[in-house]
Structure 1
Amino acid sequence: MEDGQLPKLEEQTEDLTRKSSDPPTAEQTAHSTQHLLPVKPLGTLLLHNSSPSTQDLVKNIPKPTTHPSDPLNWSAPFKWYVLTVSSLAGLLVNFVAIGPSIGLPEIADYLTGIPFDLNKTLYLFSTTFLFRSFSMIVWMPMVNKLGRRPVGLLSLGISTLAALACAVATRRFTSQMAARFFLGFGAGGVELVAPLIVTDLFFVHQRGLAMALYSAFFYFGISLGSIVFGTMIQTRDWPDSYCLSAALLGAVWLLTAITIPETAFRRPISNFHKKLPPGRCMRLWSGVIYTQETLTTMLGRLFSLVCFPAICWSIILWGFQLAFLVAIVTNLPKSYALEPYAYTTIGSGFMSFAGLLGAMAGFVQGGPIVDWISTVLTRRNNGVFEPEFRLPALLPCLVSTPLGLLLYGLGLHYRLSWVSAPAALFFLNYSLTTATSIGLMYSIDILNPIASEVISTTIMFRGIVTFAMTCDVHNWIDRVGPRTLFVVFLLISLVSTSPVIPFYFHGRFLRQYTASIWPPVSTSFSWNKDRI
């Protein structure tokens, strides 16, 4: 197929998907360094092989090699251990990034004096996601070139030192902001590595559950942070909570350094891997340069991929959902400290137990239920898997997110029972865990060879959306009232989530058409053969 030619939609799906699991042909790699756009729609795979002799055999995609260092050959318990430790790192960076906001009045009083400035202090927490966005410019090329292990260790190390800096930089607001810049910068690397480990260790039919585990841990961090920091801030000095965070991050860094090997691996086996002893995977850096792509090419994808409809929607979905949760978590200690609630910091923090339950429910929805639905739809489709088969599990979020926003906004406006706040946290954590798992996995399914760029683009622009929605949320509530603001948030949630319906029915055509025709997008879909 010549460059720019529109693939023929009417070609037999089985023929196309059968090609998807085979190595690229000579024609597809006519230029020795580039893998051109295949005829099939991106992400379409022949996943189930149903016949009288095979009885619904599930194909393992990607196909593992025979090399002992290939992560796909590791035992299932060890794979889940590696993912759990990596997800625990994601939990802790959110724990220390957002958790202290439960003590916003106390921190504002300490850093800004009397009368304390809550809106100024809020920037310490809302900018966290902006700093993570900027960090993708550094972490993404590093993780592509050097692998997951060096980036994971370096980013965890930076996060640990930054947490210590937050504990001692308590005299001035500017020094605390500087420390939290490095906290956000380090968290960006941790947040990038964990989803990539999902794609490194698990086959396509296993990734729903694995990504849901990562997503649940990610939001456990926010809820646990509110609970622990709320208790410590009221019973001890607030910098002590940062010392605890630094100790926990340091422990995970040590666990990662000792027990987690490199998970990046080239397929088919490169000459370097054939000579590489398995023990090299436990070094700080394995010594492998995993891609020969240029820095300009990789960074260019950060901006061009946002034009791809599925990725653009994933950014909007994740960014707004996260903004809603952060807005409530940061506003709750201020609003519920007033009459008729008069909650202490501990009381406000304990409301986040409902958030833990919501994230657990989101794990079930975004993991086992997603895998079951996609398996059923794949079998009905003659064994052909389409990334859109994950999307029906997102439909409950069309109800749960608006319900959570309505409970918090109206509950605060009309001074209803305190139960409205934890109920809102439950529904929003449920929606966010589900949406993160499904939205991110949907994008990765489509563009798996350049998964790191897909994840980085999503994190980068998600951070910008979240910052824009939360940087002045206290002033917005004061100006228009919680009822009006959260009704507006409700409408935004419906607009950002409802595209799940057209994407389910027309996503296959969209990913084929835009990847072939739209220049800003199609130029991103030529990648070096060492990325396959």
Structure 2
Amino acid sequence: MGLGILEPSAGGHVPGTSFMGAMGPKNNVGGYEGEQMDPKLKYDTSGPVPIVLVPQPSDDPNDPLNWSLVKRDCITAILCCVSVLASCLSSILASNTIYIAIHINENVNRVAALTGYHLCGVGASGLIIVATARVWGKRHLYVLGTVLLCITSIWAGAAQSYKSLLWARIIQGVAVCPFEALVNASVGDLYCVHQRGKRMAMTNFALFGGAFMTPVVVGKITTVMGWRWPFYFVGIFAGVCVPFVFFFCPETAYRRATQYNTDLSSNSQTHILPFNGRVTPAAMDFPDPIPVLSKEAGATPIENLDTDIPPPRATFLQSLALFNGRKTSDSLWKLILRPIVLIVHPAVFWGMLTQGALIGWSVMIGVVIAYIFMMAPVRFHEEQIGYMYTGAFLGAMLGFLLAGMLADWSTRVMTRWNKGVFEPEFRILLVLPQAITGITGVFLFGWAASKPETYGWALPDFFFGMEVMGMIIGAVAASLYIVDAHRSIAVEVFTTFLLFKNFFSYALTTGAFDWLMELGTWRLFWTMGIAQIAVCALSIPMYVWGKKNRRLMQRWDILRLCRLD
């Protein structure tokens, strides 16, 4: 048992567990004290301690893991910029719903429902979009999504009827879907395990943090320029992003030979080669030390791989192709059904709640802000309601910074304590700061918002920020765990997350006012806080038995049992 993680009763390597090295610092002659790097393996030697790359890059120059780190970070930065625009559309009506209802002479509830229909558009399109991403890659969907963001935002701004605005919002949901569902999976495509933490924090901040800055800006724009201009600005900025996505975001999906996917290999495919004299099989609690294909299994050992001449590097013009071949031979219809079946996967269910619950509570807080603080005794107008989201945006920023600092650092520390062996369950430790900030934020927001005449707006806004801080950290924890522990199904899992998050949020928006009237602010958020405690408590068995679950899911593959493999 390593650091509280129970080992499966059956021996052998468990997919997701990887050896990342346990070497000493550099010495004065350019080597490493007491160690010698294994020539069969590739390392990251940019820091004071060499780290085994997991997964191992192939010798193909078109393998994204072989691209320069600057190129990969530029791709991530561009996708994050578009993700900010995509995420802002979910909350673009948060501060000006009543204003729009008055100006288009429509019922307030019907205008508020536009956000719910938008979320349904995201969720309903997720199954089709992600299935096509598995078959043909992600690039064409990023390009299509950016173009649709531009078109539908201009359409929404120019809409002259409720029906036109409704359909613009639904199709905006389709445009948002590729970014909500695929950007985190692209981090898994572009980076090795030890490089993902900060990048995953950045993508989650872009996907969720931008939504909380939007009402602040939209409230001011609506007051000064009218309700149409927030949509126009999104359309303009999306139009600016189109050439960047088209020219500088090549396909990130890559069919790497199984031998290199050392984080996905199983005992039936691999054995462990000795790394050095100091790290022993007993110390690692493995039958042997780094996953490589077994000679006994009739495969080629890693030192003899790629004996053929590697393919030439794709030219810039070739990289602009929207499609560069199928990424899987699986049936499209099977891929569409996979995210639904995966709900019963224990790790997916845990991640779905860890990421999605606090997102739902954030939606509820938005409803309460719009209702309580526009009524007596506060009587805020649209611009001031927008400013109430400042605390949430600052909380998202702090959550991003904390998750970014802790994600990779904590993993390196835990891996070193575990004699160089990385376990994906180390990522679950991020739930601890999520629980502290998220649960505190939910309870104390309900307490402060229940008496606005006493506590005013500043204290509820502060606790809103705490709740959002926990939300960002939880999203990073769930995303990292899935990418590290179950990377082969990460795309489908993120689709499951997307479906739950959007339909859960939609359900909350439809019943929010009724629950608020029936229970009152404090009782409503007390109930949500208790539910969040239960969600965070699920991380304890997930950490302890997560490795056993990985072995169980390897042997009793849910997709294979449902004939969807």
With the shorter chain as reference, the TM-score category is 0.7 to 0.9
Structure 1 Cα separation of the partners of residues 551 and 520 of structure 2: 45
- Contact map agreement 2:334 2:564 (CA 8 A) in 1: no
Which residue, out of 69, 90, 96, partners 2:83?
90
Structure 2 Cα separation of the partners of residues 46 and 432 of structure 1: 31
Unmatched 5+ stretches in structure 1:
1-7, 17-39, 528-532
Partner amino acid, structure 2, of 1:140:
V
Unmatched 5+ stretches in structure 2:
1-6, 25-33, 38-48, 258-305
Q: Are positions 1:282 and 2:319 aligned together?
A: yes
How far does residue 78 in structure 1 lie from its aligned partner after superposition?
Answer: 2.2
- Contact map agreement 1:167 1:243 (CA 8 A) in 2: yes
Which residue, out of 473, 484, 497, partners 2:523?
484
- Contact map agreement 1:50 1:57 (CA 8 A) in 2: yes
- Contact map agreement 2:341 2:558 (CA 8 A) in 1: yes
- Contact map agreement 2:128 2:336 (CA 8 A) in 1: no
SS of match in other structure, 2:470: helix
Shift in alpha-carbon separation, 1:526–1:184, aligned structure 2, 3 A: closer
TM-score for the superposition, normalised by structure 1:
0.86
Q: Which residue of 2 aligns with 1:236?
A: 225
How far does residue 90 in structure 1 lie from its aligned partner after superposition?
Answer: 1.1
Shift in alpha-carbon separation, 1:271–1:86, aligned structure 2, 3 A: farther
The structure in which a higher percent of residues are helix is 1
Matched ranges for 1:196-207 at <5 A: 196-207=185-196
Q: Which residue of 2 aligns with 1:141?
A: 131
SS of match in other structure, 2:473: helix
Which residue, out of 105, 110, 113, partners 2:98?
105
Shift in alpha-carbon separation, 1:86–1:234, aligned structure 2, 3 A: same
SS of match in other structure, 1:99: coil
SS of match in other structure, 2:89: helix
Q: Are positions 1:392 and 2:382 aligned together?
A: no
Shift in alpha-carbon separation, 1:490–1:273, aligned structure 2, 3 A: farther
**1:223-274 Cα distance to aligned partner (Å, 9 max, x none):** 2211111111111220121111111111112221122222222213899982
- Contact map agreement 1:514 1:522 (CA 8 A) in 2: no
Q: Which residue of 2 aligns with 1:176?
A: 165
Structure 1 Cα separation of the partners of residues 366 and 308 of structure 2: 51
Matched ranges for 1:430-509 at <5 A: 430-509=469-548
Which residue, out of 150, 167, 170, partners 1:160?
150
How far does residue 410 in structure 1 lie from its aligned partner after superposition?
Answer: 2.0
SS of match in other structure, 1:263: coil
TM-score for the superposition, normalised by structure 2:
0.81
Structure 1 Cα separation of the partners of residues 309 and 170 of structure 2: 38
How far does residue 425 in structure 1 lie from its aligned partner after superposition?
Answer: 2.4
Q: Which residue of 2 aligns with 1:214?
A: 203
Which residue, out of 168, 179, 192, partners 2:181?
192
How far does residue 501 in structure 1 lie from its aligned partner after superposition?
Answer: 1.4
Which residue, out of 7, 10, 17, partners 1:44?
17
Identity of aligned residues (%): 22
**1:178-215 Cα distance to aligned partner (Å, 9 max, x none):** 11110011101122231122011110111111110001
Partner amino acid, structure 1, of 2:253:
A
Shift in alpha-carbon separation, 1:523–1:441, aligned structure 2, 3 A: farther
Structure 1 Cα separation of the partners of residues 464 and 61 of structure 2: 45
Structure 2 Cα separation of the partners of residues 272 and 356 of structure 1: 51
Structure 2 Cα separation of the partners of residues 79 and 373 of structure 1: 23
Q: Are positions 1:66 and 2:59 aligned together?
A: yes
Aligned residues: 489
Matched ranges for 1:114-129 at <5 A: 116-117=107-108, 119-129=109-119
Which residue, out of 520, 523, 526, partners 2:561?
523
**1:485-506 Cα distance to aligned partner (Å, 9 max, x none):** 1111111111112111121112
Which residue, out of 406, 422, 440, partners 1:403?
440
Q: Which residue of 2 aligns with 1:77?
A: 70
Q: Are positions 1:53 and 2:35 aligned together?
A: yes
**1:28-60 Cα distance to aligned partner (Å, 9 max, x none):** xxxxxxxxxxxx333111122447214853111
- Contact map agreement 1:316 1:465 (CA 8 A) in 2: no
- Contact map agreement 1:98 1:125 (CA 8 A) in 2: yes
Partner amino acid, structure 1, of 2:485:
I
Partner amino acid, structure 2, of 1:53:
E
**1:315-340 Cα distance to aligned partner (Å, 9 max, x none):** 12222111111222243233212222
How far does residue 281 in structure 1 lie from its aligned partner after superposition?
Answer: 4.6
- Contact map agreement 1:307 1:521 (CA 8 A) in 2: no
Shift in alpha-carbon separation, 1:110–1:492, aligned structure 2, 3 A: farther
How far does residue 412 in structure 1 lie from its aligned partner after superposition?
Answer: 2.3
Across the aligned residues of Structure 1 and Structure 2, the Cα RMSD in angstroms comes to 2.4
Structure 2 Cα separation of the partners of residues 384 and 64 of structure 1: 19
Structure 1 Cα separation of the partners of residues 219 and 309 of structure 2: 51
Structure 1 Cα separation of the partners of residues 419 and 359 of structure 2: 37
SS of match in other structure, 2:447: helix
Which of structure 1's runs of 4+ aligned residues deviate more than 4 A? 269-273, 524-527
Partner amino acid, structure 2, of 1:178:
W
Structure 1 Cα separation of the partners of residues 364 and 81 of structure 2: 24
Shift in alpha-carbon separation, 1:373–1:441, aligned structure 2, 3 A: same
How far does residue 152 in structure 1 lie from its aligned partner after superposition?
Answer: 0.3
How far does residue 386 in structure 1 lie from its aligned partner after superposition?
Answer: 1.0
How far does residue 521 in structure 1 lie from its aligned partner after superposition?
Answer: 5.1
